[in-house]
Every structure is written in structure tokens, then in C-alpha cells.
């Protein structure tokens, strides 16, 4: 299938590792021109070099900490200088950690800022350009809705789902779609750090119908499709990529 992405422009946050990196690589392979964002510039340079070595246009690199209040506007402006316009926004930056019941409000505030507030601010910063060009794709990498325990990022990701649904109803008339992808157990730097190999194996055998953790590329293929003109009639959705991990039917 021709995804009609050749020459399109995309801004991808959290692109230095894992899911964000896989999405950036997938978009570049389809011919999109990229600006990639993360805190660690050296890792972004490795991603950009790999994309260029594969024969695609080398992405622009934007080293930024999304926790910085000034980051959304700076990221947008840097991307516009590099690309001319932003047609696709992939919000992949984020983080997750379980917390006990009693923690300082600061912990909750940090999780909400990282996983919801900055994502919302960046999206709203690029929206006027998408409205003006009558086309845009917004893709949020979120999280599951079946938490085993308290995790501040789960609450933030649930906020993303509600906000994205409302936004999709506002901007659809401008040719802009807004979708969220909820990963299951995808092998990333964070997963490798938090879960030993034997624990991952046992969990996959017990809980994941396909019998294994997913790879970032398993999710990236969906993100690339949703970023394309072909996916014009899909908006306001939350789509799990989890090997069947979730137990509810929709």
C-alpha cells in the first residue's frame, strides 16, 4: 500500500529510543521529512545517522527537555525552521513509574506535566498551522487502562485519551485527525530496566495471548499508518497494541 507520506513533514518527540525511535524510522522509510526531539542529543544523532544511512532524508535534531515550560514553543519553532511546516505530530515522550498511596503532590505534578500538560501544550502550539493548511495528523503514545496499582502516569494518560477525543471533534472539519495508541508490554529501555528477563518470560506466558512482549516496530507500523492520508477516516480512537493483553473487548 502506498501510504502517500513521501514529502510529508513530521515532528516526533521521544525519538531517541524505543517506540519514538521506531516511529521516526518508519516515517522516514515512507519518505517523510522529520524533526526528532529528545533530551539526549547524542542518541538523536545516532537515530539521524541511521536514517540517513538507510537512504532517507536526515532528520533535524532538536535536543529539548519537555519538562521545561518553554519547551513546547521552542520545539515548534525549531521544527518549523527545519521543515517549513508541521503536518504530522507524534507525541511519544513520556515516562512511567508505580508510586505508593502516600507521596508528595510533587510526584503527581511531575507525572501530569510530563505525560499530559506538555503534550497538550505542544499539540495546541502546532494546531494553528495544521488548521491553516487544512490537514494534519496528531498521534499520541499513551498507556493501558487496566492499572495493577497506583501509577501517576496512568492517570495522565487517561487525561490524554479524554482530551484527544474532545479535540478530535473540534478539528475534524479542518482535515485533522487525532488518535492515541496504547502500548502493552513493548520492549523498551524502561521495560528492560524494570522487569528482569525471567519475569518478562513468565508474564508473557501467563498474560499475553501471543506469548511474548512486543517490539517497538510492532507499534510503529500502526503509528505510520495513522499518520498517512490513507487513514483519513480514523479519528478520536484509542487503539491498543498489546498482543491481546487487555481483557476488555473494546
Residue 17, helix vs strand vs coil = coil
For cell 494546531, the residue is 127
- Residue 66's pLDDT is 86
Mean pLDDT of 145-174: 91
Q: How confident is the model at residue 250 (pLDDT cuts 50, 70, 90)?
A: low
- Residue 38's pLDDT is 96
Chain centre to alpha carbon of residue 167: 17
Q: 126 or 111: which carries more pLDDT confidence?
A: 126
CATH number for region 9-235 = 3.40.50.720
Angle 77-89-59 from CA coordinates, rounded to 5°: 70
For residue 244, pLDDT over 80 is answered with yes
Non-local (6+) Cβ contacts of 202 within 8 A are none
Q: CA-CA distances (angstroms) from residue 133 to 74, 126, 127?
A: 21, 11, 10
Mean pLDDT of 9-32: 97
Q: 16 or 148: which carries more pLDDT confidence?
A: 16
Mean pLDDT of 72-98: 94
Mind listing the pLDDT tens digit for each residue in 208-223?
999 999 999 999 999 9
For residue 99, pLDDT over 90 is answered with no
Mean pLDDT of 134-149: 89
For residue 146, pLDDT over 80 is answered with no
For residue 131, pLDDT over 90 is answered with yes
Question: What are the cell numbers at 48?
Answer: 539521524
Domain residue limits, the chain: 9-235
Phi, psi of 184 (to 5 degrees): -90, -135
- Residue 21's pLDDT is 98
Nearest residue to 158 via CA among 115, 100, 190, 211: 115
For residue 90, pLDDT over 70 is answered with yes
For residue 96, pLDDT over 80 is answered with no
Q: Distance between CA 171 and CA 126 in Å, rounded? A: 13
Q: How confident is the model at residue 120 (pLDDT cuts 50, 70, 90)?
A: very high
Nearest residue to 47 via CA among 65, 25, 66: 25
Q: 29 or 95: which carries more pLDDT confidence?
A: 29
Beta strand 176-183 with 33-38 is unpaired
Non-local (6+) Cβ contacts of 197 within 8 A are none
For residue 93, pLDDT over 70 is answered with yes
Question: What are the cell numbers at 164?
Answer: 484527544
pTM listed for this prediction: 0.95
Q: Distance between CA 79 and CA 82 in Å, rounded? A: 5
Mean pLDDT of 161-180: 98
Alpha helices (H) in 97-249, listed in sequence order: 105-112, 118-133, 152-171, 189-194, 197-207, 216-226
- Residue 101's pLDDT is 87
Q: Distance between CA 47 and CA 126 in Å, rounded? A: 24
Amino acid at each position: 500500500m502506498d501510504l502517500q507520506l513521501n514529502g510529508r513533514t513530521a515532528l516526533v518527540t521521544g525519538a531517541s529510543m524505543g517506540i519514538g525511535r521506531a516511529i521516526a524510522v518508519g516515517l522516514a522509510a515512507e519518505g517523510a521529512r522529520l524533526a526528532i526531539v529528545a533530551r539526549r542529543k547524542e542518541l538523536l544523532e545516532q537515530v539521524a545517522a541511521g536514517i540517513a544511512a538507510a537512504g532517507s532524508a536526515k532528520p533535524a535534531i532538536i535536543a529539548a527537555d519537555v519538562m521545561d515550560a518553554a519547551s513546547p514553543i521552542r520545539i515548534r519553532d525549531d521544527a518549523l525552521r527545519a521543515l517549513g511546516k508541521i503536518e504530522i505530530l507524534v507525541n511519544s515522550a513520556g515516562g512511567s513509574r508505580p508510586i505508593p498511596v502516600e507521596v508528595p503532590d510533587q510526584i503527581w505534578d511531575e507525572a501530569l506535566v510530563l505525560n499530559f500538560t506538555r503534550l497538550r501544550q505542544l499539540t495546541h502550539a502546532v494546531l494553528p498551522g495544521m488548521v491553516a493548511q487544512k490537514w494534519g495528523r496528531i498521534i499520541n503514545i499513551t498507556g493501558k487502562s487496566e492499572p495493577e496499582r497506583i501509577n501517576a502516569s496512568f492517570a495522565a494518560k487517561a487525561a490524554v485519551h479524554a482530551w484527544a477525543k474532545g479535540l478530535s471533534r473540534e478539528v475534524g472539519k479542518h482535515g485533522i485527525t487525532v488518535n492515541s495508541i496504547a502500548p502493552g508490554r513493548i520492549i523498551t529501555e524502561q521495560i528492560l530496566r524494570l522487569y528482569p528477563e525471567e519475569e518478562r518470560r513468565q508474564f508473557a506466558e501467563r498474560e499475553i495471548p501471543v506469548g511474548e512482549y512486543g517490539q517497538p516496530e510492532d507499534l510503529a507500523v500502526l503509528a505510520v499508518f495513522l499518520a498517512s492520508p490513507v487513514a483519513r477516516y480514523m479519528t478520536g480512537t484509542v487503539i491498543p497494541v498489546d498482543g491481546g493483553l487487555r481483557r476488555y473487548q473494546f
